[in-house]
Amino acid sequence: MVRQVTLPSSLKSLVKLVVVSLFVLSILAIPPNGTVTAQQQQPLTLQAFSFRIVKAPVPVNSDAVGPSDVLSGKRGWRFDLQNTDGSPVPVTNATIRVESSLNPTLFPDIVSFPAIESTASLAPGQTLAGPRMENSNLPASFTPGYAASRAMNPMLVPPGGGSQTVTVRVRPVYPRYDYPRAHIVVGIAGDVTSTSNPDLSAGETLDMSPTPPSNGAVWMLHGAKIGKDYVFTAVLQVNNGSVNPLLHKPIVTVEMTSHRGVPLDNIPGRSIITNDADLQGRIIYSVNEESGVWHRIVDDYFVVEFAQIAREMPPVNVRVDIKPGSDPNSINLNQKGLVAVAILTVSPGQATPQFPVIDATSLNPQNIRIMDAADHRPGIFPNGAAPVRSATEDVDGDGDLDLVLHFETQDLVDKGLFDKDTTRARVYGPAGPGVPPTRVTGTDSVNIVGR
Ligand SMILES: [Ca+2]
Ligand SMILES: [Ca+2]
């Protein structure tokens, strides 16, 4: 005779649990039989990366930014999932799912939300690069937290072209770039003929990609240190097909990355969920296995980009006074002697759109030429007459020194530069090394006598 025993439901559950547990334990106690048991298998280690990229173009004429300058740019994201496990056990059905209430058109790489990226298995060491949303159209502003500058020497490439040394300095300042997790990436566009790397100390490493000579150089410095100056240089070959000097500033991109783990370590389970206020949504990283242990890593990218400038520099207008103190400016071609020609200094208070500021005494007299203005062709550097003497003197009595050049009258005749039809003369020439503006030009009337 069987007695019916009625147990309370909670006790029933307990019995069930004990029975199931015993069953599971008995399975685990089975010898491995050539396969990895659940007890021997290490938990899979998975990392979820949320790359945040903020990229700002620096104002077009800027050659430097400071660590606290506020820059405006576009923000983007890229999501990655990595199997950092060392054992040969892949995770299956690795998936990244991005949800957002934002309009997908704000993200050029996203058709619709949720955006899902998945792969059947993720072997140890492999990364699943999920939805990529770099260069999103979301406006953002940031302080870079590092000083970056570019310098060009020479700034002006002469007609025909020449080499230019570009120096980029980067100095991480903000504590988020804590050593050894801070990285610097510097890119210089151009025809690179040689490079020189920054000084490195213990803990810093450097990759060059690609190896020069090539069309551009990229340095990747790992383990940057707070407060240290890193100097990158590249020598560029710059073409200049014009007849004028070329103001040339190559495009330079500077990225600082901080690689930070957030305290989500040892989260077991199939997925982790990250809420992102800027995305107005969340990112779900998931895998099929229950044994994964998650780490969430955030890489902050802050990118400043210096614009490329390649601008032909036209000559600068200067005030010219032929025969200072005389009017009309009579030149007798039958006489020997010298013709005095002044190039007048223009102070900031005297500057006009037609005649910008110039210190005439900074010009190199040996580079200046004179000829008939009617024969002068813009963009061509013809063979005018060179001065035989020069002096500095305040010829217009305005308190600043001007440049006075003396030309030989017979030289003007012999070279066929002046004749009876000449009514106006032009003075022109390069200003000399390293002095902007690089070329000057100016005219004054002449009254030819003789011949
Ligand atoms: Ca005069
Ligand atoms: Ca003066």
Nearest to 47 by CA among 83, 21, 101: 83
What's the gap in Å between 274 CA and the centre of ligand 2? 70
What's the gap in Å between 312 CA and the centre of ligand 2? 30
Q: How far apart are CA 304 and CA 176, in angstroms?
A: 17
Q: How far apart are CA 190 and CA 142, in angstroms?
A: 28
- 210 band by pLDDT with thresholds 50, 70 and 90: low
Nearest to 358 by CA among 446, 427, 445, 423: 427
Nearest ligand (C-alpha, residue 324) = 1
72: exposed, middle or buried (Cβ count in 10 Å: 0-12, 13-18, 19+): exposed
What's the gap in Å between 444 CA and the centre of ligand 1? 8
User: What separation, in Å, do the N-terminal and C-terminal C-alpha atoms of the chain show?
Assistant: 150
**What mean pLDDT is predicted for residues 84-98?**
87
Please report, for the chain, how many H helices and E strands are present, in that order: 2, 29
Q: Decide if pLDDT at 121 tops 70.
A: yes
**What mean pLDDT is predicted for residues 57-63?**
92
> In angstroms, what CA-CA distances link 34 with 23, 38, 120, 140?
21, 13, 25, 56
What's the gap in Å between 445 CA and the centre of ligand 1? 8
Quote the pLDDT of residue 213. Answer: 60
Q: How far apart are CA 139 and CA 285, in angstroms?
A: 26
Q: Which tokens belong to 414? A: 């012999």
Nearest ligand (C-alpha, residue 445) = 1
| 183 Ramachandran zone, left/alpha/beta (phi>0; psi -120 to 50) | beta
What's the gap in Å between 340 CA and the centre of ligand 2? 15
Q: How far apart are CA 428 and CA 314, in angstroms?
A: 12
What's the gap in Å between 348 CA and the centre of ligand 1? 23
What's the gap in Å between 259 CA and the centre of ligand 1? 70
Lowest mean pLDDT among 209-223, 329-343, 408-422: 209-223
What's the gap in Å between 378 CA and the centre of ligand 2? 27
**What mean pLDDT is predicted for residues 93-122?**
92
Residue in the block written with tokens 């020598």: 235
Q: Which tokens belong to 376? A: 């002068």
Nearest to 419 by CA among 378, 380, 359, 375: 375
- Chain-centroid distance of CA 152 in Å reads 14
pLDDT, tens digit, for every residue of 222-272?
A: 999 999 999 999 999 999 988 778 999 999 999 999 877 655 556 778 888
What's the gap in Å between 342 CA and the centre of ligand 1? 9
Nearest ligand (C-alpha, residue 446) = 1
**What mean pLDDT is predicted for residues 20-38?**
38
17: exposed, middle or buried (Cβ count in 10 Å: 0-12, 13-18, 19+): exposed
pLDDT, tens digit, for every residue of 328-365?
A: 999 999 999 999 999 999 999 999 989 999 999 988 89
Nearest ligand (C-alpha, residue 396) = 2
Nearest to 232 by CA among 251, 214, 219, 250: 219
Q: How far apart are CA 250 and CA 245, in angstroms?
A: 15
- 159 band by pLDDT with thresholds 50, 70 and 90: confident
149, β-bridge pairs? 64, 169
Q: How far apart are CA 40 and CA 32, in angstroms?
A: 9
Give me the sheet containing 424-430, strands edge to edge: 316-317, 439-445, 424-430, 369-372
What's the gap in Å between 436 CA and the centre of ligand 1? 27
Nearest ligand (C-alpha, residue 399) = 2
